[in-house]
Chain A
Amino acid sequence: MFMRVSYFASAAVLSLGGLMSVAVTPAMPSAAIALQRSAAPPAPATGVAPPAEKDSVRFAVIGDTGTGTSSQYEIGAQLTQARQTFPFEFVIMLGDNIYGSERPQDFVNKFEKPYEALLGAKVPFYAALGNHDDPTQRYYKPFNMNGERYYTFSKGNARFFVLDSNYMDQTQLKWLEEQLSRSNDHWKIAYFHHPIYSSGEKHGSEVDLRTQVEPLLMKYGVDVVFAGHEHFYERIKPQNGIYYFIEGGSAKLRKGDIRKGGPLTANGFDTDFTFMLAELGKDAMRFQVLSRNGKPVDAGTLQLAAEPKRPAEDKPASR
């Protein structure tokens, strides 16, 4: 599955290696990184676009959430609000689900209460483990991990591969290869905590994952990868035919941490908390990113083309 990306909107169109066209709305910060430093008070998610296809798989993406702070609750409220316009079926969590102590009341204050309305509406959450998560979280039923550190689940025409990037041992890699090789799903989506590509000043790319995991993602045609760990939003320029997103700013924020002018960034936002909404359609994934005051931060469409993916054609950017 070779993918092309187009970001439909009004402004300038860029061409990257003949594989991708990008158009950016004026509301979005484009390839440049938004530099405003003040966060506006929360307001309803007015900038949410409705789904474009009737039978698409719709989900929300949040990462580095488990703080129990007001920002987590604000994003929780925005998610609830956004669901009225964009009725997502489930939420994926990119790790650091519970920061600090993991006493029973922490699960209440850092997960159940902030997302109470969604949980009440029976919206399932599917969690990946982060470096702040005790692996016993896999037994916590609302995280839907089936008691496993790494697991897979399917929704419609998509299969999701959820990995434990804290401990990427040979057993997990073997499991991943088996699962990927078995999958004939239209969409293959992977997510885990540590980003293979990142422009973060503090952490940066997890280069070991490029050696151990990325070859499998390429070999078996994974389309999109989500990660957290970095406390901001970043859309990475396509690497080896794969689209990478970082959404680690859903309750923690490291302001100004995205390296300016780096080779990886297609778009980045490190000035306020964010969450993503995504829709997997017949031939395209549409995504939108909103800040905690409901303003659009990024949006676009990844077009899934019919021809097979040819990873070698995309030249990877360096760290």
Chain B
Amino acid sequence: MTRMLFIVGVTLMSLAAAPQQQGVNPFAQAMVDFKQRVGGYMKLRDEITKKIPEVKETGDPAKIHTREKALGDAIAKARVNAKPGDVFGADMVGYFKQILAEDWKSRRPADRKALFNELPRGVQIGINQPYPPTLPLVSVPPNLLAMLPMLPETLEYRLIDRYMLLRDRDANLVIDVLSNVLPQRDR
């Protein structure tokens, strides 16, 4: 855990101090690129929400449901050709896997078991699909979350089965998927 915090710290310092330097940190440029891709998604989303404004507090849940679906449909339509890794980025896969593996290793067997108990299994997840509305949104362990790059408020990481997802919170839409990043259950 300490080593991972160090790696993340060094990465962030590299970003802040000398983002253009080559060879300082293997993930520094990848992190910059990841943030740019997230920014690109947010720009697209901002355009869409001009036509589908944020819902106000209401006593009518139909209005909330309708807005969520309309936003999800519009984003999916605008990203119809999106592929796995378009936002996460091939260059960041190793980074995410490393963080997840270190986090997993740091956990006691009882904590691992508790997390496994929470994770829905046997689920097929795809980009531009809604997160299955009848499944729980499993809590992302806060210590893990502290090591992952921060996201804008409307986006979140989610864990399900062996996937890590990027999910648009208000659209309930899967934006990107990393497969096989969580351990098998028998390990």
A residues near B, CB below 8 A? Answer: 100-104, 106-107, 131-137, 139-142, 146-147, 165-171, 193-194, 202-204, 206-209, 211-213, 319
Contact = CB atoms under 8 A, between A and B. Distances in A.
The 4 closest A-B pairs by CB, nearest first: A168-B142, A212-B142, A208-B142, A104-B62
B65 interface: yes
Given A131-B136, A212-B146, A140 B114 contact: no
A69 B39 CA distance: 44
Q: Most chain-B CB neighbours within 10 Å: which of A107, A147, A167, A213? A: A167
A211 B114 contact: no
Contact of B65 (A103, A132, A202, A204): A103
A139 B65 contact: no
B133 A203 contact: no
B60 A104 contact: yes
B156 A167 contact: yes
Given A104-B61, A131-B118, A167-B156, A208 B141 contact: yes
B93 interface: no
B172 interface: yes
A134 B58 contact: no
Interface residues on B, range: 35 or more
A151 to B, nearest CB: 12
B143 interface: yes
A146 B117 CA distance: 32
A141 B58 contact: yes
Contacts of A141: 57-59
Contacts of B142: 168-169, 208-209, 211-213
A135 B62 CA distance: 15
Given A104-B60, A139-B56, A146-B57, A194 B139 contact: yes
B57 A100 contact: no
A211 B169 CA distance: 25
A21 B114 CA distance: 33
Contacts of A169: 142, 145, 150-151, 156
Contacts of B90: none
17 contacts: A102-B65, A131-B118, A131-B136, A132-B136, A132-B137, A139-B56, A140-B61, A141-B57, A147-B57, A165-B139, A167-B139, A168-B139, A169-B142, A194-B139, A208-B141, A209-B142, A211-B142
B17 interface: no
> For the complex, would chain A's binding face be called helix, strand, loop or mixed by DSSP majority?
loop
Nearest to A102: B133
A36 to B, nearest CB: 26
B55 interface: yes
Contacts of A132: 136-137
Nearest to B60: A104
Nearest to A204: B114
A208 B146 CA distance: 10
Contact of A131 (B61, B114, B138, B169): B138
Nearest to B65: A104
Contacts of B136: 131-132
Contacts of A203: 114, 117-118
B111 interface: yes
Contacts of A103: 61, 65
Contacts of B153: 171
Interface in B98-146: 108, 110-111, 114, 117-118, 133-134, 136-146
Given A101-B133, A131-B139, A167-B140, A139 B57 contact: yes
Contacts of B55: 136, 139
Q: Most chain-A CB neighbours within 10 Å: which of B62, B118, B138, B145? A: B145
B150 A139 contact: no
Interface string B161-183: 00000000110100000000000
A107 B58 CA distance: 12
B15 interface: no
A166 B142 CA distance: 9
Nearest to B59: A141
Contacts of A134: 68, 133, 137, 172
B139 A101 contact: no
A102 B145 contact: no
Interface string B56-89: 1111111011001000000000000000000000
A136 B64 contact: yes
